[in-house]
Amino acid sequence: MTRETFEELFLPVSRNLYRYAYRLLSDREEAEDAVQEVYAKLWGMRGELDKYRSKEALAITVTRNYCLDMIRKKQRHIRHDYRDESDTRTGDHDPHGIIERKEIYINVIRAIDNLPEQYRVAVLMRDIDGFEIEEIAKELGINMSTLRVNISRGRKMVRNQLTGTEYEHKGTGQAS
């Protein structure tokens, strides 16, 4: 694929990609960087682009995945910062209380990280990032009923992991 053909296909959707990235990231510079990274990734895929019916849908999917990866990386960083600062924020200087809170925090994060992707992303966006249901549904491209079910199941799976009980998700035949 030539550069001209690539530009004809993807430059017209640049505003849509930027708006989508901005809605996910809520930061102008990060959204601009994300679109640049998406274009670089698409350019790297230029030999395989003929396999895709809708180049715009592909570009949006790549943008979504890239932005969600950025959000996850940011959350890991926030979690690390929270873990380091949690003792000073509570004002608790009791070593046993500090250790207990850190252990609980680590167990909750592990439980969330062990969730299947659809539940993990929904729980993180809702409970960690504080996004509204409508925003999450729109960003993930699912209806609100499905999202509510995913959040509910994800929370239940976290609870069950923390209490040591098993939760079998119907339809997969797998216990989590």
Q: 66 and 143: one domain?
A: no
Q: Can you state the angle between helices 28-44 and 3-10, rounded to 10 degrees?
A: 140
Reported as a single tens digit per residue, the pLDDT across 1-24 is: 889 999 999 999 999 999 888 888
With tokens 């790549």, the residue in question is 62
Q: Is residue 40 part of a domain?
A: yes
Considering the domain architecture, whether residues 99 and 170 belong to the same structural domain is answered as yes
The total of structural domains in the chain comes to 2
Q: Span 59-85, mean pLDDT? A: 73
Residue 82 lies in a domain: no
Q: How far apart are CA 176 and CA 23, in angstroms?
A: 32
In DSSP notation, 137-161 reads HHHHT--HHHHHHHHHHHHHHHHHH
CA atoms within 13 A on the CB side of 38: 32
Domain span at 39: 1-71
Judged by average pLDDT, the poorest of 2-6, 42-46, 117-121 is: 117-121
- What CATH number should be reported for the domain holding residue 61? 1.10.1740.10
Residues in CB range of 39: below 8 A, 6 or more apart: 10
